[in-house]
Amino acid sequence: MWRNLIVILIIVSSCVNEKTAPVKLIGEAQGTYYSIIYYDRQQRDFQHEIDSLLDAFDQSVSLWVPGSILSKVNNNEANVKIDKYFTDNFNLSKKVAIETHGSFDFTIGPLVKAWGFGYDGNKQVDSIIIDSLLNIVGYQKIDLFKNTIIKKNRNTTIDFNAIAQGYSVDMVGIFLKENHINNFLIDIGGEVMASGDKPDGNNWRVGIEKPAKKSSDQRNLTGVIKLINQSVATSGNYRKFFEENGIRYSHIINPISGYPAQHNLLSVSIVCNNTALADAYATACMIMGLEKSIDFVEGRKDLDAFFIFSADSGVYSDYATEGFKKLIIENFD
């Protein structure tokens, strides 16, 4: 399923008058929730149109829709027509995979399933199975040429789960702007985009969750940031995992080793101007670990980040880029 909620919205809005009252839409999509708030003088309700848009998106890139374009590609069906949604997600995934030297890899699905984090939750894994699966995993093993998927190994499959949810946020944002709505906040499963501001001039506020000790622990915030025409996505390893022989195994699988990532980085929040990329980079950082991720983000002018990690003493610590520090409006614990 799609990643569990990591980012928590903080909505502080007041109805100044009827014209500035927010339109609030809440629904379900992609195995998770969505929450959309926008200001529209005409008070139009776009719930039906947005639901239709998200459904059409699932028909393209969802692993859980048997007849989706993605499912057909993974099943090696002939004469599959690739649409814009699929093409965009493929090209963006390839871009991030190359930039992160394979830490982000959209062919990782067989490994995720083997470790029991797939749809059926059935874990079947040992070193022999991992070595076998690594032969079909790797973004270099698949390409898109003239609207056709080309595989070096027909058993290689595509999994857009680590980018598609962010892309769907961007997609809804484009829809709202096409309808001349420029002040909005979109949250789909914790991937968030903010545009404009509220009628009182205040910025949109987004809370970042504090890592939990147990997956069942209550959700608490570590701090609050403002978003100004930006997106934020957070990835963490503390809500979805299993324990075996005293060892915790995260759902964040390293596509290079084939094993769950093992390091002290607990969560990373990426801020940038594209939600799909924020989504993908957050996942990549969770694979790379703290030191490599800091080097990666600090070398980019288009990204800011906040990292929460476990120090040697076991106490939580954090690191924020200078750009991220400027977004903080309530102190982070």
How confident is the model at residue 5, as a pLDDT?
A: 40
The first and second tokens of residue 166, run together, are 């962010």
Q: Is the pLDDT of residue 248 over 70?
A: no
pLDDT digits (tens, 9 = 90+) for 271-296: 999 999 999 999 999 999 999 999 99
Average confidence (pLDDT) over 248-273: 85
**316 or 11: whose pLDDT is higher?**
316
Residue 246 tokens read as 């005293």
201-206 long-range Cβ contacts below 8 angstroms, 24+ apart: 202/12, 203/227, 203/228, 203/329, 204/228, 205/9, 205/10, 205/11, 205/12, 205/329, 206/7, 206/8, 206/9, 206/10, 206/232
Q: Above 50 in pLDDT, residue 87?
A: yes
Task: Report the pLDDT value the prediction gives residue 8, as an integer from 0 to 100.
Answer: 47
pLDDT mean across residues, the chain = 87
In this structure, what are the phi and psi dihedrals at residue 25, rounded to the nearest 5 degrees?
Answer: -120, 130
What domains can be seen in the chain, in order of their start residue? 55-156 (1.10.3980.10)
The per-residue pLDDT for 120 is: 60
Model confidence at 247: pLDDT above 60: no
User: 15: pLDDT confidence band, cut at 50, 70 and 90?
Assistant: very low
Is residue 325 within 8 A of residue 292, CB to CB? The reply is: no
Task: Find the mean pLDDT for residues 164-193.
Answer: 97
Confidence of residue 113 (pLDDT cuts 50, 70, 90): confident
pLDDT band at residue 136 under the 50/70/90 scheme? very high
- In percent, the amount of the chain with pLDDT more than 90 equals 70
pLDDT exceeds 90 at position 124 = no
Q: What percent of the chain has pLDDT over 70?
A: 84
pLDDT in tens, 226-239: 999 999 999 986 54
pLDDT for the residue 250: 54
Strands 142-145 and 265-272, sheet pairing? unpaired
Of the ranges 56-60, 221-225, 243-247, 301-305, which one carries the lowest mean pLDDT score? 243-247
